[in-house]
Structure 1
Amino acid sequence: MPVLGIGGIFFRAQDPERLTAWYRDHLGVGPGLAAPDAGDPEEWTWKVQGGPLAFAHFDADTDYWSTDRQIMLNLRVSDLDRLLDDLRAGGIAVTVKAEWDSPETGRFARIHDPEGNPVELWEPPVD
């Protein structure tokens, strides 16, 4: 198979510059940024660490995220507790539910970007 991975994530925004700044400032995601140990930043891309990537389809009527949204972004993170503290300090509402977490899959939290898009934060289990 010639497919090697995800090459980009693209979605419409009412205010693309504001949304880009929000992701950069609160999550460290976006063009010109690099995750720790991912190499030097590049102007047009976000350099990420290698690791697992879920590619899954849910039933159209799932209640796992709001039914008025077609997709939910899931970001793999380290030190979820610290990130959640930073997000809360920045005035961002955070949702956590014990039933989302398990030793097999890791820990999860949910936020929404300024345009209402759901963003799931996932801290994988430690090997």
Structure 2
Amino acid sequence: MGVLGIGGLFFRAADPQALTAWYRDHLGVGAGCGPAGDSPDDWAWRVAAGPVVFQPFAADTDYFAADHQWMLNLRVEGLDALLQRLRAAGIAIITRDDWDTPETGRFARIHDPEGNPIELWEPPAGA
């Protein structure tokens, strides 16, 4: 087919510089970020290999807020430690026991400063 993966995510922001800094500082996402030992890149975020879910949802889904067309899902390792750091930074976190399953992993939700929804996903071991 020729497609190798997602090459980027581009979206509008009221304050792109502030939002870029928020993602970098709180989630390690964005230009110059990447796995430990990887060479930083001034433009790209170097990600670890792993699963990517690409899934349109029905227009009337209640999986995320109806006033948003999309939700960013970030695959994470060490969800508990990340949530602890986010809470310490004053970032509101939503968790629900029914989101977590041994088959799919664990989930938490946050929002960036502009209200964009972010789902944090820790896949099950070995996924």
TM-score, L = length of structure 2: 0.97
Task: Tell me how far apart the structure 1 counterparts of residues 63 and 36 of structure 2 sit (CA, whole Å).
Answer: 30
SS in 1 for 2:118: strand
Which residue is equivalent to 1:11?
Answer: 11
Q: What is the CA deviation profile of residues 59-118 of structure 1, one whole-angstrom value per residue up to 9, with x for unaligned ones?
A: 101111111000000000001000000000000000000010000000000000000000
CA shift, 1:26, in A, is 0.3
Identical columns (%) = 64
CA shift, 1:35, in A, is 2.3
1:79 maps to amino acid: G
Task: Tell me how far apart the structure 2 counterparts of residues 67 and 111 of structure 1 sit (CA, whole Å).
Answer: 16
Task: Tell me how far apart the structure 2 counterparts of residues 35 and 24 of structure 1 sit (CA, whole Å).
Answer: 13
Task: Tell me how far apart the structure 1 counterparts of residues 46 and 4 of structure 2 sit (CA, whole Å).
Answer: 15
SS in 2 for 1:47: coil
Task: Tell me how far apart the structure 2 counterparts of residues 96 and 36 of structure 1 sit (CA, whole Å).
Answer: 28
Task: Tell me how far apart the structure 1 counterparts of residues 77 and 85 of structure 2 sit (CA, whole Å).
Answer: 13
Q: What is the CA deviation profile of residues 22-61 of structure 1, one whole-angstrom value per residue up to 9, with x for unaligned ones?
A: 0001000000111236x21111000000000000011101
Task: Tell me how far apart the structure 2 counterparts of residues 2 and 67 of structure 1 sit (CA, whole Å).
Answer: 34
Task: Tell me how far apart the structure 2 counterparts of residues 36 and 10 of structure 1 sit (CA, whole Å).
Answer: 25
Query: Which ranges in structure 1 are unaligned for 5 or more consecutive residues?
Result: none
Contact 1:13 / 1:19 at 8 angstroms: preserved in 2? yes
SS in 2 for 1:82: helix
2:16 maps to amino acid: P
- In the TM superposition, structure 1's runs of 4+ consecutive aligned residues that sit over 3 Å from their partners are none
Indicate whether 1:31 and 2:31 are aligned: yes
CA shift, 1:2, in A, is 1.0
**Which structure 2 residues correspond to residues 6-85 of structure 1 after superposition, within 5 A?**
6-36=6-36, 39-85=38-84
Task: Tell me how far apart the structure 1 counterparts of residues 120 and 31 of structure 2 sit (CA, whole Å).
Answer: 19
